[in-house]
Amino acid sequence: MLLVATTLTACGGGGDDGTKASAPKAPATIPELTKDPLTLSFIWFDWPPAHALEDFANAEYKKERPNATIKVNTVPNANWHDAMFTQFAARKTDFDIAILDSQHIGEAVTNGNILDLTDFVKNNIDVNAYNPYLLAAYGQFPQAETGKRDENASLYGLPLLGDTWTMIYRKDLIGDKPPQTWDEMISVAEKCQADHPGVSGLAFHQANGSDAAAVTYNTVNGVYGGNLWDAKTRKIEGVLNDAAGQEAMDVLVNKMKPLTAKGSGNWFIDEVNAAVAQGKACIAFNWIAASGGLLDPKESTLGTTREQILDKLGFATLPSQKTNLVPLGGMGMHVSAYSPTANQAEALNFMKWFERADIQKKWAAAGGVPSRTDALESPEFLNAGPFNQVYTDSVPRMRDMWNVPEYARLVDIENTNVNAALNGAKKPKDALDDIAKEQQAVLDSSSRKGGGGL
Amino acid sequence: MSAPVPLTTDPGRVASATPPAPGRSRRLSDRGLAVAFTSPALLLLLAMSVFPLLWALYLSFTDYSATRGGAAHFVGFGNYTAILTSAQVHQRALTTLIYVVGAVTLQTVLGFAIAYLISRRTHGRGLLTTLFLVPMMLSPVVVGLFWRFMLDAQFGVINSMLGSLGLGQVEWLTRQRTALVSLIVVDTWQWTPFIMLIALAGLTAVPKYLYEAASIDRASEWFRFRTITLPLVWPLLLIAVLFRAIEAFRLFDLVYILTSGGPGVSTETLSFHVYKVAFLGFNTGTASAYGILMVLVVIVLTQLYLRYLNKLKEG
Amino acid sequence: MAVSVDEAVSAGPARGRPPAARRPGGRGRSVLEVALLTVLAVVMLFPVLWMIETSIKENRDVYAIPAEFFGFTVTMDHFKDVFVAPDGGRSALSVAFLNSVLVAGASTVLATVLGVPAAWAYSRFALKAKKDQLFFILSTRFMPPVVVVIPIFLMYRQVGLIDSKLGLILIYAAYNVPFTIWMMKGFVDEVPAEYEDAAMLDGYTRLQAFRKFTLPLLVPGIAATAVFALIFSWNEFVFAIFLTSSDSVRTAPPAIAGLIGGTTVDWGLVAAASVVFALPVLVFAYLVRRHLVAGVTLGAVRR
């Protein structure tokens, strides 16, 4: 009896969150900053840019704000979404700035987990310094249409790290000139694989965790003129699995997959990097921000110095086919709604500082990928890595996935089904139809709150 | 801890010479002592096991979501019917069943065989047993990571050795059948020692005179095994099997690390599916109902386990 | 009950095994059996050896095909990396190890302090519905963690225990208390109640009798029980990954799991971290080898 009573009380407590959730607004101007020592915490997944950010911010931001220390908490990539959103759900976060994937914004905004920065941006950020779509991709909700920004939509974040796929190719095996079309890329890979036993033609993400296999399919889908959905009518069924979508799935499973290494069906970022570093792939696709390790002679069999490795490895923008779309990666900075006021103020100050022209160039030199156009075209950025030119060239070609509150489930459905198709557990056509059907069901049932979800 | 216990009711040493009176007060203090000693532990279990479970039971009848906020609405048995009729759930149940049956069978056969072989040795039994037990003590995280490394189709040592033998590469973790087999193999590697340990305890407990009597009768080895060894070891073995079945039914960590449910969803167990419902979609109501159903299965298994235990203790 | 596990595990001389191997024709069979055991032992131990070998290889050799079993350059760098961060400070892994020590230690102490007196009470006194209570206690131990973590998460959210060491300590203690009670009850049962009765005839109270006479006899059992609780908390992964997120709280299992899924997998580091992580457990397991059967069956099987 007592237990039942406590159960009800506790659940009554849980219902406190019941007020219609919407993102609280950040102040338009930065409030007065504290003079006491303060730790500004981020949350990201564990990869080199996270460490680069912590080092960079502690070195440079401290010059402005000697009392501030930057701490970048890292979690395993597979646990990234869960770690952020379980804390949001707890209404208590150990971070002040969440580094959300661009598609997480919808979920966070709808739940009221991050601050609305619209007024703050108006007063503090020079929006004309950016490619409008890039600014929108990491902050706007509802989602921006590909290539455009909606000036009237609200902004909830600012760009931290830009990213896209680069094509990594072996200059010593296929020549200096990268293939220009997707079909050409496939035939070059085929020939390379036939000419060099032990080296596979292609290496790309196929795993069913994170967004690995989903991004791969979406990329091919874009290149072959497909669409992920019709955002206005919220239709996936019939859009994703139209003729273009089917062709993309066919290319991926029947033309590209046979050129990959046996057992590569669970590969993600690190396995693709390992294959390249071990000299086992002619052409590979990977996120630019994750490619730095390829130039490390300690991890590579391609050469004993960075220069030797660069003699063999080339980096290029993705080939085009029916379109020249490339996947948008990277992440923005978002202020936790549950962080103390002093920390939120510091977070806003940090973001304003970070988006300054000179700081963006320094971030570029420190190994980051900036977003301001001037920084992207600066020698600091273009000379910092062999793949940075690829990023700058790719910016006008980017397309993102659905940025909706149901993102985590949509991407899981796509990941598992594409992964199943790639590994022979499902026929490609069935997999695509299942994705469309299941994703549509998720979108349609989104009003059902905590029910459903199987 | 001793505060509520009336320690000083006993008037003194002299009284202990006359049993009746102190015996009475002692019984009284016994009850107080028993309550004082058991209640802290029971309270912790009520707070950390029973209460959360009741909460989950309540949520399982609602459409509550841990992140989306808003009041929870009662949906009756809606979540339960949705789960029980879902083809997705049926698929996971089948996967879990194959996994549990496959892994536990394999472990039992292997574990018993090893125990039998060890029990026939006269030297080095202690060392052998200790060595065989190592896998069981490792964290599932370590086991999962390491087997993932060894089973890698390209760089893994298993395929490398197969290659040296002139055999082709096997896609251990990325084909529907082999991935589930790999899961079973890794679980078997880790838990065969468990069955072995318990079987060994049973085997070494078989009284010597039984064998001696049998050898006078010139009974065949197989006959002795069937009529003496097995009946005595059987109850223990059964307990080990039930225990493993319960543990295997709950399996999560190994899937999370080794295959993350792939390829596709072909190695997703029920536990892994609950995780996805609970933490990807934050469909807390559905996940709670799912969890309650799993708990029911575990309770049935546990009851069986306990019943056999009892029989064993009485027998 | 006369035979203890010790006999199964101890390396002492044969105790009452049938002299099957000495029969005529038994020799060939004996050789076969030894060969079979050897093969099985090699198969079971190979992954452990491979893990140790990988931990002392340079990263370039780790991926070598065909795999290198001998003749690689030995390096201790991975072990250094486990404890020392690239910038010379303490590595995140070493912090996680410390957290694990703290969480596993505290939860074990808590479970022991709560469980041992309860076990004694259940062994000595006729309590109401004792059997049901004991069965209930044991069944809480069998709940799937992935299911329990959902309401625990909601509960912790209310009281602010998400991402805290205390939260982990409490849930681990709750998982270890049933085990401690069942395991310890067996040990208490073995200490004759007459000792206490005799002491009470001498004028000691029941509590004093427990403290002065029974408790000292229980110490080895308590130690063994605590070690098993420690091993469980040390190895636990599910609660740790869902209830913690920051470096300062995270325990070793999620930290080690986090070593993969970045941009490059340093398998040497994974192996070294695994070795360092597994070592204490193996040492502990060796210390309690006499009680292994009871330990792994939650104290249910004790012969």
pLDDT digits (tens, 9 = 90+) for B61-84: 999 988 877 778 899 999 999 999
**Number of cross-chain residue pairs from A and C with Cβ atoms under 8 Å apart:** 90
Domain with A231, as residue range(s), is: 164-326+404-448
Tokens 């009851």 sit on residue: B303
Q: Specify the pLDDT at position B226.
A: 85
Whether residues C159 and C235 share a domain: the answer is yes
The beta-carbon neighbor of C162 closest among A79, A92, A278 is: A92
Binned at pLDDT 50, 70 and 90, residue B27 comes out as low
Span A246-262, pLDDT tens digits: 999 999 999 999 999 99
User: CB–CB of B120 and C289 under 8 A?
Assistant: no
Assigned domain for C102 exists: yes
CB contact under 8 A, A76 and C264: no
Average pLDDT score, chain A: 91
Which tokens go with B114?
Answer: 């090893």
Task: Supply the ipTM of this predicted assembly.
Answer: 0.88
Q: Is residue C162 part of a domain?
A: yes
- Decide if A78 and C261 are in contact by the 8 Å CB cutoff: yes
Please, what is the average pLDDT of chain C? Answer: 85
Q: Does A435 have pLDDT greater than 80?
A: yes
Torsion over CA: B161, B162, B164, B168 (sign): negative
Q: For residue C12, give the chain B residue with the closest CA.
A: B126
With an 8 Å Cβ cutoff, is A417 touching chain B? Answer: yes
Is the Cβ–Cβ distance between B242 and B308 less than 8 Å? yes
Q: Which amino acid is at A48?
A: P
Spans of all domains in chain B: 7-59, 78-314
Q: Check which CATH number belongs to the domain holding A354 and give it.
A: 3.40.190.10
- Amino acid letter for position C56: I
Does C140 fall in a domain?
Answer: yes
Residue-level pLDDT at A2: 38
Query: Do residue A78 and residue A131 come from a single domain?
Result: yes
Q: Is residue A298 part of a domain?
A: yes
CATH of residue C244: 1.10.3720.10
Q: Which of A14, A94, A274 sits opposite C63 (nearest CB)?
A: A274
Quickly name the fold that domain B78-314 has.
MetI-like fold (1.10.3720)
Q: Mean pLDDT throughout C94-113?
A: 97
* A142 prior amide bond cis, ω within 30: yes
Structurally, chain C folds into a number of domains equal to 2
Confidence of residue B55 (pLDDT cuts 50, 70, 90): very high
Within a domain: residue C233? yes
Residue of A nearest to C155 (CA): A10
C269 within domain boundaries: yes
User: Among B12, C154, C233, B118, which residue's Cα sits nearest to residue A17?
Assistant: C154
**A300 and A202 fall within a common domain:** yes
Chains B–C, number of C-beta pairs less than 8 Å apart: 319
> A136 and A39, same structural domain?
yes
Which positions 25-44 of B are in contact with C (Cβ < 8 Å)?
Answer: 26, 29-31, 33-34, 36-38, 40-42, 44
Residues C67 and C99 both lie in one domain? no
Same domain, A203 and A145: no
Cα gap A82→A409, rounded to integer Å: 12
> Based on the domain organization, do A288 and A424 belong to the same domain?
yes
Q: Report the range of poorest mean pLDDT among A197-211, A278-292, B178-192, B198-212.
A: B198-212
Q: Which of A435, A440, A429, A437 is nearest to A247 (CA)?
A: A429
Contacts of C261 in chain B (CB under 8 A): none
- Whether residues C151 and C35 fall in one domain: no
**pLDDT over 70 at B126, yes or no:** yes
Average pLDDT of B142-148?
A: 93
- Which residue has tokens 């598609």? A103
Residue pairs between chains A and B whose CB atoms are closer than 8 Å: 181
Clarify whether residues A248 and A384 are in a common domain.
no
What would the pLDDT profile of A389-429 be if each residue is shown by its tens digit? 999 999 999 999 999 999 999 999 999 999 999 999 999 99
- pLDDT tens, B238-295? 888 988 999 999 999 999 999 999 899 999 999 999 999 998 888 999 999 999 999 9
CA atoms within 13 A on the CB side of A200: 20
**Position A136 in a domain:** yes
My answer on whether C265 and C147 are in the same domain is: yes
Whether residue A17 lies within 8 A of chain C, CB to CB, comes out as: no
Q: Are residues C111 and C235 in the same domain?
A: yes
Give the pTM.
Answer: 0.89
Testing the interface with B: which of A278, A336, A434, A449 to mutate, by most B Cβ within 10 A? A449
- CB contacts of A452 in chain B (<8 Å) are 82, 281, 283, 286
pLDDT over 70 percentage in chain A: 94
Do C146 and C188 lie in one domain? The reply is yes
**A87 domain-assigned:** yes
Once rounded to an integer, what is the mean pLDDT over residues A135-159? Answer: 90
pLDDT in tens, C90-101: 888 999 999 999
- Most confident option among A16-20, A149-153, B207-211, C163-167: C163-167
| Residues of A in Cβ contact (< 8 Å) with C261 | 45-46, 76-78, 209-210, 268-270
pLDDT recorded at residue C300: 66
Query: Cβ distance B65 to A447 under 8 Å?
Result: no
Number of structural domains found in chain A: 2
Residue C123 sits in the same domain as residue C63? no
Query: Distance (Å) from the C-alpha of residue A267 to the closest C-alpha of chain B?
Result: 10
DSSP characters for B45-58? Answer: HIIIIIHHHHHHHH
Q: Please tell me the predicted confidence (pLDDT) of residue C88.
A: 79
The angle formed by the CA atoms of residues A83, A88 and A91, to the nearest 5 degrees, is 130
| Domain contains A305 | yes
Instruction: Identify the pLDDT of residue B238.
Output: 87
Instruction: Note whether A277 and A132 are same-domain residues.
Output: no
Q: Residue A19: what pLDDT?
A: 35
pLDDT at position A337 is 96
The predicted pLDDT at position A450 comes to 60
- Compute how many other C-beta atoms are within 10 angstroms of the C-beta atom of residue A244: 19
d(CA C129, CA C122): 11
Q: Name the residue facing C265 among A78, A86, A274 (closest C-beta).
A: A274
| Cis, peptide link before residue B263, omega less than 30° from 0 | yes
| C226 and C173 fall within a common domain | yes
Where do we find the tokens 């961060």?
Answer: C85
Using CA atoms of A414, A419, A425, A426 in order, give the dihedral in degrees to the nearest 10: 40
B88: nearest Cα among B298, B253, B261, B254: B261
**How much is the mean pLDDT over chain B?**
85
What percentage of residues in chain B have a pLDDT greater than 70? 90
The answer to whether A76 contacts C153, with C-beta atoms less than 8 Å apart, is no
Question: Which pLDDT tens digit goes with each residue over C243-256?
Answer: 988 889 999 999 99
Domain-embedded: residue A19: no
Place A447 in a pLDDT band, splitting at 50, 70 and 90. Answer: low
pLDDT of residue B315: 62
Domain residue limits at C24:
19-77
The answer to whether the CB atoms of C261 and A278 lie below 8 A apart is no
pLDDT in tens, C122-172: 999 988 888 888 888 888 888 899 989 999 998 998 898 988 999 999 999
Say what the pLDDT of residue B19 is.
39
Can you give the pLDDT at residue C84?
A: 92
- DSSP for B235-299, written as a single string: HHHHHHHHHHHHHHHT--HHHHHHTTT-STTTT--HHHHHHHHHHTS--HHHHHHHHHHHHHHHH
Judge whether A282 lies within some domain. Answer: yes
Are A178 and A203 in the same domain? yes
